[in-house]
Amino acid sequence: EVQLVESGGGLVQTGGSLRLSCTASGFSSGDYVIGWFRQVSGKAREYIACITSTGVTYGPSSAEGRFAISSDNRLNVVYLQMNSLKPDDTATYYCAGDTQYGSVGGQCRRADFGSWGQGTQVIVSS
């Protein structure tokens, strides 16, 4: 069973930085994809970026270059580094993962993942 646990969220002032972590376990052999998403209550979920088990990345989708995804396969952790945070970045951030199906970009945009973490909240104060 795949399990994903996010951490690293919290309260930060405008202009600050946070690094979110997604610790993954339970993937069987084969290529997989882990992605970061965010959602504000009442709004649609938004994909941010994805990374495969072989290090191929897709995104970030926007954030003007302020966000970056990376991974440490030895620790089974995927990171989302967020810099120059703005109040609009306030959201619950989720990581999700699954076996890779086709292109990482397509899977990321469709949020085609069978396993999701519980989310970590990020609040950016003005």
Per-residue pLDDT tens digits for 69-104: 999 988 899 999 999 999 999 999 999 999 998 899
User: How confident is residue 62, by pLDDT bands cut at 50, 70 and 90?
Assistant: confident
**51: its two tokens:** 């990374």
How does DSSP assign 41-74, residue by residue? Answer: TTS--EEEEEEETTS-EE---SGGG-EEEEEETT
Distance from C-alpha of 47 to C-alpha of 80, rounded to nearest angstrom: 12
Q: Can you tell me the mean pLDDT for 57-74?
A: 87
